[in-house]
Amino acid sequence: MKETVFKKFGSLVLSKETMKERLPKDVYEAFETASSKKGELDNASADVIADMMKEWAIENGCTHFCHWFQPLTGSTAEKHDAFVENNNGELLLKFSGKSLIKGEPDASSFPSGGLRATFEARGYTYWDLTSPAFIRGNTLCIPSIFISFNGEFLDKKGPLLKSIELLDEKVTELLRLCGWKEVNSVKPYVGLEQEYFLIDRPLYKKRLDLILTGRTLFGHSAPKGQELEDHYFGAVPTRVAAFMKDVNEELWKLGVYAKTEHNEVAPRQFELASIFADANIAVDQNQMIMDILKRVAYEHDFACLLHEKPFAGINGSGKHNNYSLICDDGSNLFAPGKDHKEQLRFLLFISAFVKAVDTYPELLRMSVATAGNDHRLGANEAPPAIISVYLGEYLENIIEDFAAGNDVHDLKMVHDYNIKGFKNLPADTSDRNRTSPVAFTGNKFEFRMLGSSCSAALPNLVLNTIMAKALDETIDELKDVKEEDLERKVVEIIKKNFSEHKKIIFSGDGYSADWIKEAVERGLPNITSTVEAINHYDDRKNADLLEDYGIFSESEIKARKTILFEQYSNTLAVEIRTLLKMVNRQVLPSIARETLEYKNADSAMMKKHYEKLCACYDSISEAIGKLENDLNRAMEEKDEYQLARKMRDLSNDEMPEIRKYIDEYESISSKEIFTVPTYSEILF
Ligand code: ADP
Ligand code: MG
């Protein structure tokens, strides 16, 4: 191949092919066996692998290695160690199997929700053999899980891996029961679409709210918003194109298949989608994507905002999670089949998914609950806070047919658009419904409730686990069925799944007020705030599910719930304190200065303006006095749930009020005096 950027694809990731090339045959086989969970890695092999990794890393400019893990903060963490050792006064470059497999970062400063008291601060990281090591800067990063001294998970990856194994076990068992003996393993595959805002760094640096909270806490709407719909899919601006080019090249070097990029709906909003990968890797890669977006933005004098709602009045950002189950023979269990038998299998898995979502909507809702996402879910842009499943007219027709006792028919559909040269185009098996939180899109389900800054680990853990449960119940129903009755029974189960869980299926407009009413009548939960969503974590039903399958212990659930409450309350406390600071140091002094210019004016209109400014000053000043008092009072609350509720009320009731006054002032303020960058300046 000629020297192109693609030549460097994967150059910074230690692929299996490179490992195979560089390792003795028996050592590579030991690695393969261990990474496919069929055996343990012996110490001697680990030493050889570590040494090879060190050589490869040093050749590529590395001086350090680290265990790269995902603590419950939601981002990633690492502690770097150099390859250097002192060998009696001589420099020795060394990386042992022991250091490869196990690390021991001081765990005391990561959230543990009480699982680990500071006096027993030990925490361990263990190499995840299923996700490849990669290079960032001068460091070899080794994807790892993070657990406490007592073996409790302190991270997001460990439990996700457990859920992937659980699902594999249940799917393969069910497929065998149904006579699909050729399948040995199944994995969930995930494709993530990442939305973000890109704004000028010099303006970003002038707004404390953007720096500390990731969003604007006030700001009068620009005269133009997204109403002209001229940004979506429009030509990418030159500076942004240069940024995207660098982002892609960085990601390709890391073996991430960055694929699609385009302008999003709101001004300055963009999207990057990478090609789907197995869930564990997709989640890791999404962390890299978020990291690289931020770093490259910095190099281009931009700031990348991953917050779910950086600006009021225009769309926020999400992260669509495309999900399917793919077997080791390449077949996708959510893809319509080619013949009768495959078609039954397809419907069995689709119906199990519908059952899973309908049985555990609260848990799914919880998995995407964050303070930032509350500004988005249920607003007029993202999916509503009510979970429903969209299957599309085509699939719904099949199901109806099926329920009426008709045989499953050929699933191929063609369109005849009646344009010359465009005859018999294959049609998608589903239309698009943008308002649905969970939509079937032809051969996968798209879960659209994730916030843009969210780690995709928990939502996928929940999808895997609830799916495993639904399949487990199917296994029980089929276990003792005689071979000749099998098909009849499978048909019966599909029908039952669809009819018993009909209430979750909805094809209409998810934004409409009528739907909220109808959903309540159907008995679907409408959990509008993060506080209530978190509170469902340990509902009996949910705790039973997670504990029975060994995904979490009772104490792990309790700890995770505590951490989510803490993160929520802390996020809001930071927002409130930031608002107070900006008001006291910027807004009020500006108004005061501005009044001086009008104070002694003779003009009646100028006098009026003066009075308007004074009124703004008084309203803001009074409201922030109250907010400060109320914050201090709320912070005395000891109960985590009650504290979170109080913070939510401050955020919902008092902050918008203050914002209204500030925006009023901003709209009449002097550009010279009030220098906080406005929406017009930032967005256009
Ligand atoms: P849209 O914007 O229409 O939702 P995109 O092309 O932006 O579509 O994103 C679709 C995402 O779904 C991509 O990440 C793609 O790789 C992923 N995807 C495609 N097929 C599958 C599949 N079988 N399983 C999981 N993800 C998939
Ligand atoms: Mg999408």
pLDDT score at 234: 72
Identify whether the C-beta of residue 162 lies closer than 8 Å to the C-beta of residue 169. no
CA 436 to each of CA 369, 432, 505, 509: distance values in angstroms, whole numbers, following the listed order: 17, 9, 10, 8
Residue-averaged pLDDT of the chain: 92
Q: If 0-12 CB within 10 Å is exposed, 13-18 middle and 19+ buried, where does residue 234 land? A: exposed
Identify whether the C-beta of residue 141 lies closer than 8 Å to the C-beta of residue 133. yes
pLDDT digits (tens, 9 = 90+) for 503-541: 999 988 888 889 999 999 999 999 999 999 999 999 999
Answer whether residue 411 shows pLDDT above 60: no
d(CA 334, CA 646): 43
End-to-end CA distance of the chain: 42
Q: Which residue has 């699902």 as its token pair?
A: 167
Return the closest-CA partner of residue 388 out of 322, 455, 427, 435.
435
pLDDT score at 408: 62
In this structure, which residue's CA is closest to atom 1 in ligand 1? 193
Answer whether residue 93 shows pLDDT above 50: yes
Answer whether residue 209 shows pLDDT above 80: yes
C-alpha count within 13 angstroms, C-beta hemisphere, residue 319: 28
Identify whether the C-beta of residue 565 lies closer than 8 Å to the C-beta of residue 173. no
Answer whether residue 358 shows pLDDT above 70: yes
Return the closest-CA partner of residue 302 out of 375, 230, 243, 381.
243
**DSSP 8-state class, residue 203:** H
- pLDDT band at residue 413 under the 50/70/90 scheme: very low
Identify whether the C-beta of residue 193 lies closer than 8 Å to the C-beta of residue 382. no
Mean pLDDT of 52-64: 97
Ligand sitting nearest the alpha carbon of 276: 1
pLDDT score at 417: 45
**DSSP 8-state class, residue 115:** S
264 touches ligand 1 (CB under 6 Å): no
Mean pLDDT of 88-100: 96
Beta bridge partners of 440: 445
pLDDT score at 676: 98
- Tokens linked to 390: 């969209």
The percent of residues in the chain predicted with pLDDT above 90, rounded, is: 80
In this structure, which residue's CA is closest to atom 12 in ligand 1? 191
- pLDDT band at residue 396 under the 50/70/90 scheme: confident
Residue 645 neighbours by CB under 8 Å, 6+ apart: 531
pLDDT score at 425: 47
pLDDT digits (tens, 9 = 90+) for 572-592: 999 999 999 999 999 999 999
Mean pLDDT of 187-208: 98
According to DSSP, the β-strands at 90-93 and 389-390 are unpaired
Q: What is the dihedral of CA 101, 104, 107, 110, to 10 degrees?
A: -40
Answer whether residue 640 shows pLDDT above 60: yes
d(CA 415, CA 548): 47
Q: What is the dihedral of CA 421, 427, 428, 431, to 10 degrees?
A: 100
- Tokens linked to 516: 């909220």
273 touches ligand 1 (CB under 6 Å): yes
- For 140, the 3-state DSSP assignment is strand
Q: Which atom of ligand 1 is nearest to the CA of 335?
A: 23
In this structure, which residue's CA is closest to atom 24 in ligand 1? 324
pLDDT score at 3: 72
- pLDDT band at residue 112 under the 50/70/90 scheme: confident
Q: E strands, 97-137, where?
A: 102-103, 123-127, 134-136
Ligand sitting nearest the alpha carbon of 273: 1
- Tokens linked to 88: 């009696």
332 touches ligand 1 (CB under 6 Å): yes
Q: Which atom of ligand 1 is nearest to the CA of 191?
A: 14
pLDDT score at 108: 76
pLDDT score at 208: 98
Answer whether residue 414 shows pLDDT above 50: no
d(CA 78, CA 288): 13
Return the closest-CA partner of residue 53 out of 104, 97, 8.
97
pLDDT digits (tens, 9 = 90+) for 121-135: 688 999 999 999 999
According to DSSP, the β-strands at 186-200 and 269-274 are antiparallel
- Report the residue among 269, 276, 320 best suited for mutation to probe ligand 1: largest number of ligand atoms under 8 A from its CB: 276
Mean pLDDT of 480-495: 94
Beta bridge partners of 199: 303
According to DSSP, the β-strands at 277-278 and 445-447 are unpaired
- Tokens linked to 567: 């993160």
pLDDT score at 416: 43
CA 279 to each of CA 195, 211, 245, 463: distance values in angstroms, whole numbers, following the listed order: 19, 32, 26, 11
Identify whether the C-beta of residue 353 lies closer than 8 Å to the C-beta of residue 470. yes
d(CA 1, CA 591): 64
- Report the residue among 187, 190, 192, 193 best suited for mutation to probe ligand 1: largest number of ligand atoms under 8 A from its CB: 193
Return the closest-CA partner of residue 257 out of 190, 332, 159.
190
Answer whether residue 104 shows pLDDT above 90: no
Answer whether residue 43 shows pLDDT above 50: yes
Beta bridge partners of 433: none
C-alpha count within 13 angstroms, C-beta hemisphere, residue 326: 16
Residue 503 neighbours by CB under 8 Å, 6+ apart: 358, 522, 523, 524
How many residues would you count in the chain?
Answer: 684
Name the least confident of 226-230, 357-361, 671-675.
Answer: 226-230
Return the closest-CA partner of residue 72 out of 2, 145, 168.
145
Q: Report the 3 state secondary structure along 641-668.
A: HHHHHHHHHHHHHHHHHHHHHHHHHHHH
CA 461 to each of CA 92, 151, 202, 318, 465: distance values in angstroms, whole numbers, following the listed order: 42, 19, 39, 18, 6
Identify whether the C-beta of residue 62 lies closer than 8 Å to the C-beta of residue 135. yes
Give me ligand 2 centre to Cα 321, in Å.
8
Q: What is the dihedral of CA 206, 208, 213, 216, to 10 degrees?
A: -60
- Report the residue among 444, 447, 464 best suited for mutation to probe ligand 1: largest number of ligand atoms under 8 A from its CB: 444
CA 135 to each of CA 4, 74, 169: distance values in angstroms, whole numbers, following the listed order: 21, 21, 33
Provide the 10 A C-beta neighbour count for residue 559.
Answer: 23
Name the least confident of 304-313, 407-416, 493-502.
Answer: 407-416
Identify whether the C-beta of residue 70 lies closer than 8 Å to the C-beta of residue 156. yes
**DSSP 8-state class, residue 583:** I
Give me ligand 2 centre to Cα 168, in Å.
26
Identify whether the C-beta of residue 285 lies closer than 8 Å to the C-beta of residue 274. yes
pLDDT digits (tens, 9 = 90+) for 653-680: 999 999 999 999 999 999 999 999 999 9
Identify whether the C-beta of residue 266 lies closer than 8 Å to the C-beta of residue 259. no
Q: At what angle do helices 604-634 and 554-582 cross, to 10 degrees?
A: 150
- Tokens linked to 592: 């005061």
Mean pLDDT of 56-67: 97
In this structure, which residue's CA is closest to atom 7 in ligand 1? 273
Mean pLDDT of 281-310: 98
- pLDDT band at residue 475 under the 50/70/90 scheme: very high
Q: Which atom of ligand 1 is nearest to the CA of 192?
A: 14
- pLDDT band at residue 150 under the 50/70/90 scheme: confident
Q: Which domains does the chain have, with CATH numbers?
A: 2-154 (3.10.20.70), 163-552 (3.30.590.10), 567-683 (1.20.120.1560)
Give me ligand 2 centre to Cα 143, in Å.
27
Give me ligand 2 centre to Cα 391, in Å.
15
Identify whether the C-beta of residue 273 lies closer than 8 Å to the C-beta of residue 255. no
Q: E strands, 208-278, where?
A: 258-263, 269-274, 277-278
444 touches ligand 1 (CB under 6 Å): yes
Identify whether the C-beta of residue 271 lies closer than 8 Å to the C-beta of residue 175. no
Phi first, then psi: give them for residue 265, nearest 5 degrees: -65, -45
d(CA 446, CA 319): 10
319 touches ligand 1 (CB under 6 Å): no
Q: Which residue has 């030493």 as its token pair?
A: 47
Answer whether residue 567 shows pLDDT above 50: yes
- Tokens linked to 256: 């991430």
